Amino acid sequence: MKLTNIKGIIFDLDGTLIKSNINFLEMRRRIINYLKSLKLDSRIDASNSIPELIESVINKVEDEELRRKILKKTNKLMNDVELKSLTSVSQIKGVEQTLKTLKDKGFKIGVLTRSCREYALKSLEKTCLKNLVDCLIARDDVDEPKPNPASALKLIEKMKLTPKEVLMIGDHVLDALCAEKAELKFIGVLTGFSSRKDFKKIGCKVIKNVGDLPLLFK
């Protein structure tokens, strides 16, 4: 992969820049219990990821007011669980120095996350990374968060760049899918959810962690 003409780098947050312990089991339980309280049991596919679960239910609800109500409530439930985990947030080793190095080289730094904005900002502040990030797009900044490419394209627009000038870095194959749909170059890191094998299955270049990134631009 040639990284010529790259002027900006978009990073995922959890598992890429920071370590976090968001209790996704609790999040799933709260969301399913809420949907059951609306008598939507038959529309719940518990095997789906949390975003897919919510989307699949929403798509089967015809009443627009109910759809908005579900989105608002499930977002609040996700926000509550995310914010509850802030006490456990920490910087992945080497990330701060890497971002400083990249900024010194002239790269613009963006963060694209499925977490809520409040959690993202507080996490970046707690890990001393906030001042190194030029632009942020969180779940509540867009109608359809990643892997929908609209979120990445909105961030690129905020960075005042074009897709051809941006590299995306993430720890999940969903990050790779988002990058592909937005026509961005992508590199996976092994500090979070997906394994080397997972990334290789979809043909992604992989590095061990964000700290290895500056070596690719020498």
- For residue range 2-29, list pLDDT tens digits in order: 777 899 999 999 999 999 989 989 999 9
The residue from 61, 86, 111 where one domain ends is: 86
Beta partners for 168? Answer: 10, 186
In terms of domains, do 71 and 158 share one? no
Q: Which domain holds residue 77?
A: 24-86
In terms of domains, do 68 and 125 share one? no
Residue 44 one-letter amino acid: I
Residue 2 lies in a domain: no
Is the pLDDT at 187 greater than 90? The verdict is: yes
**Mean pLDDT across 54-76:** 89
Is the pLDDT at 34 greater than 90? The verdict is: yes
Residue 204 lies in a domain: yes
Q: How confident is the model at residue 30 (pLDDT cuts 50, 70, 90)?
A: very high
The residue from 37, 63, 86 where one domain ends is: 86
**Which has more pLDDT, 201 or 3?**
201
In terms of domains, do 139 and 66 share one? no
In terms of domains, do 68 and 146 share one? no
Distance (Å, rounded) from C-alpha 120 to C-alpha 136?
8
Query: Residue 1: its pLDDT value, please?
Result: 64
In terms of domains, do 81 and 164 share one? no
**Mean pLDDT across 102-130:** 95
Residue 98 lies in a domain: yes
In terms of domains, do 202 and 132 share one? yes
In terms of domains, do 73 and 156 share one? no
C-alpha to C-alpha distances, 73 to 45, 110, 121, nearest whole angstrom: 18, 28, 21
DSSP string, 132-152: G-SEEE-GGGSSS-TTSHHHH
The residue from 86, 112, 131 where one domain ends is: 86
Q: Answer whether 108's CB lies under 8 Å from 7's CB.
A: yes
Backbone angles phi, psi at 206, to 5 degrees: -130, 140
In terms of domains, do 99 and 135 share one? yes
Residue 98 gets the label, from left (phi > 0), alpha (psi -120 to 50) or beta, of alpha
Cα Rg, the chain, nearest whole Å: 18
In terms of domains, do 74 and 107 share one? no
Give the percent of the chain with pLDDT over 90.
Answer: 71
Residue 104 lies in a domain: yes
The tally of domains found in the chain comes to 2
Q: Cα 148 to the chain's mean position, in Å?
A: 11
Query: Residue 209: its pLDDT value, please?
Result: 94
Residue 1 lies in a domain: no
Residue 3 lies in a domain: no
In terms of domains, do 147 and 77 share one? no
Provide the CATH number for the domain around residue 196: 3.40.50.1000
